[in-house]
Chain A
């Protein structure tokens, strides 16, 4: 009984997270200005990291956690670089 619940909730969580990624993607394509696209990219990588954690729970492998950590690190660096670019027109001064 409880394992069917777990199975259903894993699938429901994955569908919800895919929808969340689709919403951020729509905002990234549609976003009227550059800063909207950067916020959407930020939300997109966080959602992708959470989705990776659900895949890790489903497959029982700890490796997905490290992959999520790398996504968080690189996403932070990319968002900081993009907002520096929006502010100054160049990344490294």
Chain B
């Protein structure tokens, strides 16, 4: 833990709190993925990890490396932008595929196709 000792105390506390928050959000998201009852409920849970979990962890990483190197470092923002752009696309494709499969099977739990579909 040599390089982390170079962090001033205020930065260490900020990094610790942000990190715990991010890990907690990712944990709650995966717990929801495990516990919720059907597929359309389960799709919502992991987005907690991809939005808030990633956001807090990236903020912790930016704070840590910017203070350590003494200049602002924004490499992590790329990951945030990329995940924010891609998560809705993947989940929308996936839910449309699931809806299509459920309708093909004649399941009565999903709404039937309307005229616009």
Contact = CB atoms under 8 A, between A and B. Distances in A.
A43 B45 CA distance: 9
Interface string A40-52: 1011001101100
Contacts of B94: 35, 38-39, 42, 79, 83, 86
A89 to B, nearest CB: 11
Interface in B81-117: 82-83, 86, 89-91, 93-94, 96-98, 100-101
Interface residues of A, number: 54
Contacts of B31: 20, 23
Interface string A54-77: 101110101001101100110010
Nearest to B16: A9
Contacts of A91: none
A3 B5 contact: yes
A16 B27 CA distance: 6
Interface of A: 1-3, 5-10, 12-14, 16-17, 19-21, 23-24, 26-27, 33-36, 38-40, 42-43, 46-47, 49-50, 53-54, 56-58, 60, 62, 65-66, 68-69, 72-73, 76, 79-80, 83-84, 86-87
Given A17-B27, A23-B34, A27-B42, 4 more contacts: A2-B16, A6-B7, A65-B76, A79-B94
